Chain A
């Protein structure tokens, strides 16, 4: 009997230990929870910013829930299903239609809507707008540019970045090196196989640059299986000679000549390459045979969960984080975080102006200029499903499982089926 009692004591002890943490979180009445996909290091560095707000508002406590990118949308939808939700999500704007449609997002108060419309750049506001309402505070905005390794260029005897597709392909061939037994040891151009955006976005830039379309105007049909689409896709397949190289890992290791990448590579590469980062340079996207040059833009924003719609402290906090110039600074707290920690481009007009020191540097210049000819990915209800399907078909092509023609035809069928379920 004693044994049983001892055992029960252990369980109760464990339970209280386990619950104490849960209770501690619920203790403060004004706890605000943010769900975001930042890496652990990035998440650590947002804490001081949040603590500053807690210092200014002692009755508020802010908690960050980190979720890996691969599970982020799943977590948002699933935690909605369970009815136990965080207050704020930092979301990929591509998901906005689905979240709005499913009633995940809270409608911002009128004054907040006006604030968003007047303070952020137009493309960022468009990214958060659905049914005429701006649903959230825009954060980072990204486009894709050519990022290359100057040292490898010099070794291959190439003087500058390619300006046209013809040059791009020729340079990629020159930069590709094989060892004695024919294994590729250095790739001229690489994407990120296995990562959805890492394949889909570079391809989409090529497609649009070539004058192709991804979907029909009414979003009901796939439009990429066209002559221009096929040209762009075949070019993409020629460009990516090997799937064994990743635009992240192997670019950092100095084994990849060129990639098409987003601005956040600046700090990401810098942190991991040390001195070798001096070899990295950026340039505008090479122009297609039609002379076109279109970059894909994607953006992120903070939205509030429907369950927290009536919590004024949540909106107040977001307003402070996204737009207030705290402590005499000319940059908003989020602007500082985006530029200095994430290495991203902010979308608050004032932040862009005040941080021209970084945003105007050689690395960022093509990205900032590129925003002028960038185009936002189509926002759809089944956006994630469509994107994954397209990336999977392209991946099959890059792995030489399918011809470009076949991949486009299969993707077209599947994407038309998916769209038919929604539109």
Chain B
């Protein structure tokens, strides 16, 4: 009994020893920053003075960005535009590519390598490459258009085309990653189901809709949630390719927040923006999980 007690005490002690560094880091670099970020969103603060000298202004930052600022709400809309385009295109193309690769033995490994290659390359580097591809005078894309006798386009410097151009590049970059995840999901689907369905004379589309889709629903949920969270935070490719322009066509929220904070040193206002986007991320994720649950995915996960 005593030994047992000692063992328990020792285990508890060790658990705390193992966890101490982690708890410190979580507190210092996540919990405190999160609370501090929310706190400072009620102040006017330029970071050049200690936070204790910041001026408390209540909800003014929130009032300003939500009711008065000409750019914040449009920046949210741009963020949604990017997110919807990016998530739908990436998920659909990745899923179709995964289904096709799954039944294709010939090129599977080769194509998997090809599709995945943009994923590991630095985003800054490939954003630069794509800016060059989109260049109205020297770009590859306008050259390809001229082959099919289409007039050259402005791409990144056109208000209407800039966001779709950035989305296309982002889909290209992350497609392979989500395709692999779908592929993993598909490989977990028992082949006997398809064989039985083939015997019953089911068509390929029917099998896809009736067997594949329901069974990879958990994977789908994972992909949608991760993709959405990632897309709502888009920054780097836009920072490199358009800097939010032309005019405000690609000024997404994180970029706007970054400029507000580090160009104009309006830390409080930028924190308020971050807070609102954070709430949106939480709501969107929650809704997605709920929707997929109601779609009846529990049957398979168990």
A–B contact with Cβ pairs below 8 Å: the answer is yes
State whether the Cβ of B27 lies closer than 8 Å to any Cβ in chain A. Answer: no
Cβ-defined contact, A401 with B159, below 8 A: yes
B245 and A253 contact, CB distance less than 8 A:
no
Contact B246 A410 (CB under 8 A): no
Is B110 in contact with chain A by the CB < 8 A criterion?
A: no
Choose, from B117-125, B257-265, B270-278, the stretch at the interface.
B257-265
Contact B157 A194 (CB under 8 A): yes
Q: Are B265's CB and A77's CB within 8 A?
A: yes
Q: Give complex CA distance A249, B137 in Å.
A: 9
Report the bound CA distance from A395 to B248 in whole Å: 9
Question: In the assembled complex, which residues on chain A have CB atoms less than 8 Å from the CB atom of B245?
Answer: 193-194, 395
Nearest to B152 among chain A residues (CB) is A183
Chain A residue, CB-CB nearest to B264:
A385
Question: Digit string of B68-100 for contact with A (CB within 8 Å is 1, else 0)?
Answer: 101000000000000000000000000000000
Residues on A with beta carbons closer than 8 Å to the beta carbon of B70? 410, 414
Flag A201-242 by CB within 8 Å of B: 1 or 0 each: 000000000000000000000000000000000000000000
Size category of the A interface is 20 to 34
Which B-chain residue is minimally distant from A75 (CB atoms)?
B262
Interface contact B48-A395, CB-CB below 8 Å: no
Interface residues of A in 235-260 (CB under 8 A from B): 243-244, 249-250, 253
Determine whether A23 belongs to the interface, using a CB cutoff of 8 Å to chain B: no
B243 CB contact (under 8 Å) in A70, A77, A80: A70
* Cross-interface CB contact of A73 among B157, B247, B263, cutoff 8 Å: B263
Residues of B within 8 A of A74 (CB): 262-263
For A98, give the chain B residue with the smallest CB separation. B265
Q: Which one of B48, B137, B263 lies within 8 Å of A384 (CB-CB)?
A: B263
Contact with A along B13-52 (1 / 0, CB 8 A): 0000000000000000000000000000000100110000
Residues of A within 8 A of B248 (CB): 392, 396
User: B185 in the interface, Cβ–Cβ < 8 Å?
Assistant: no
* Across-interface contacts of B247 in A (CB, < 8 A): 392, 395-396, 399, 401
Q: What's the least CB distance linking A386 to chain B, in Å?
A: 10
Chain B residues closer than 8 Å to A73, beta-carbon distance: 263
User: Is there a chain B Cβ closer than 8 Å to A276's Cβ?
Assistant: no
* Chain B residues near A102 (CB-CB < 8 A): 48
Cβ of A181 within 8 Å of any chain B Cβ, yes or no, is: yes
Residues of chain A with a CB closer than 8 A to B151's CB: 181, 183
| Residues of chain B with a CB closer than 8 A to A194's CB | 157, 243, 245-246
In angstroms, how far is the closest chain A Cβ from the Cβ of B132? 13
Interchain CB contact under 8 A, A81 and B48? yes
Q: A188 to nearest B CB, angstroms? A: 18
Q: CA–CA, A91 to B154, complex, Å?
A: 34
Q: Mark A407-423, 1 if CB is under 8 A from B, else 0.
A: 00010001001000100
- CA A243 – CA B264 in complex, angstroms? 27
Kindly list chain B residues whose C-beta atoms are within 8 Å of the C-beta of A399.
159, 246-247
User: Which A residues touch B214, using CB under 8 A?
Assistant: none
Interface size class of B (residues with CB under 8 A): 20 to 34
Q: How far apart are the CA atoms of A193 and B137 in the complex, in Å? A: 16
Chain B contacts for A382, CB-based, 8 A: 264
Q: Is the CB of B243 within 8 A of A385?
A: no
Name the contact of B137 in the complex, choosing from A80, A253, A385, A401 (C-beta under 8 A).
Answer: A253
* A244 to B68 Cα, complex, angstroms: 31
Q: A114 an interface residue at 8 Å Cβ cutoff?
A: no
A78 beta carbon closer than 8 Å to chain B: yes
- In the bound complex, what is the Cα–Cα distance between A250 and B152 (angstroms)? 15
Question: Roughly how many angstroms separate A244 CA and B153 CA in the complex, as a whole number?
Answer: 10
**Known contacts A253-B137, A410-B70; is-contact A243 B48 (Cβ 8 Å):** no
A77 to B47, CA, bound (A): 10
Q: How many Å lie between the Cα of A370 and that of B90 in the bound state? A: 55
Complex: A401 Cα to B71 Cα, angstroms: 14
Candidates A78, A243, A244; contact of B262 at CB < 8 Å: A78
**A70-B243, A399-B246 known; A384-B264 Cβ under 8 A:** yes
A155-172 interface with B by 8 A CB criterion: none
Q: Does B136 contact A (CB under 8 A)?
A: yes
A193 pairs with B262, CB closer than 8 A = no
Q: How far is A147 from B241 in the complex, measured between Cα atoms in Å?
A: 29
Assembled-state Cα–Cα distance A397/B94 (Å)? 40
- Bound together, the chains give a CA A401 to CA B159 distance in angstroms of 9
Provided the pairs A183-B151, A249-B137 are in contact, do residues A193 and B47 lie with their beta carbons within 8 angstroms? no
Residue of chain A at shortest CB distance from B260: A385
Which residues on B sit within 8 Å (CB–CB) of A401?
159, 247
- Find the B residue at minimum CB distance from A384: B263
CB neighbours (8 Å) of A417 from chain B are: 68
Interface residues of B in 108-141 (CB under 8 A from A): 136-137
When chains A and B are docked, how far (Å) is the Cα of A399 from the Cα of B162? 13
Contacts of A384 in B (CB 8 A): 263-264
Per the 8 Å Cβ criterion, residues 308-324 of A in contact with B are none
CB nearest to B158 among chain A residues:
A244
**Docked complex Cα distance between A417 and B70 (Å):** 12
What residue of chain A has the Cβ atom nearest to residue B154's Cβ? Answer: A244
Q: How long is the Cα–Cα vector from A181 to B149 in the complex, in angstroms? A: 12
CB distance from A376 to the nearest CB of B (A): 22
B13 to chain A, nearest CB (A): 25
Determine whether the beta carbon of B48 is less than 8 Å from that of A193: no
Question: How near does chain B come to A275, taking the closest CB pair, in angstroms?
Answer: 20
Nearest chain-B residue to A385 (Cβ)?
Answer: B264
Determine the residue in chain A with the shortest Cβ distance to B71. A392
Q: A183-B151, A193-B245, A401-B247 are in contact. List 9 more A-B contacts (CB 8 A).
A: A74-B263, A77-B262, A243-B246, A244-B136, A244-B154, A384-B264, A396-B247, A399-B247, A421-B44
21 contacts between A and B (CB under 8 A): A70-B243, A74-B262, A74-B263, A77-B48, A81-B48, A183-B151, A193-B157, A194-B157, A194-B245, A243-B246, A244-B136, A253-B137, A382-B264, A384-B263, A385-B264, A392-B248, A395-B246, A396-B248, A401-B247, A410-B70, A414-B70
- Which positions in A face B, CB cutoff 8 Å? 70, 73-74, 77-78, 80-81, 102, 181, 183, 193-194, 243-244, 249-250, 253, 382, 384-385, 388, 392, 395-396, 399, 401, 410, 414, 417, 421
Ranked 5 nearest A-B pairs via Cβ? A396-B247, A385-B264, A194-B245, A74-B262, A395-B247
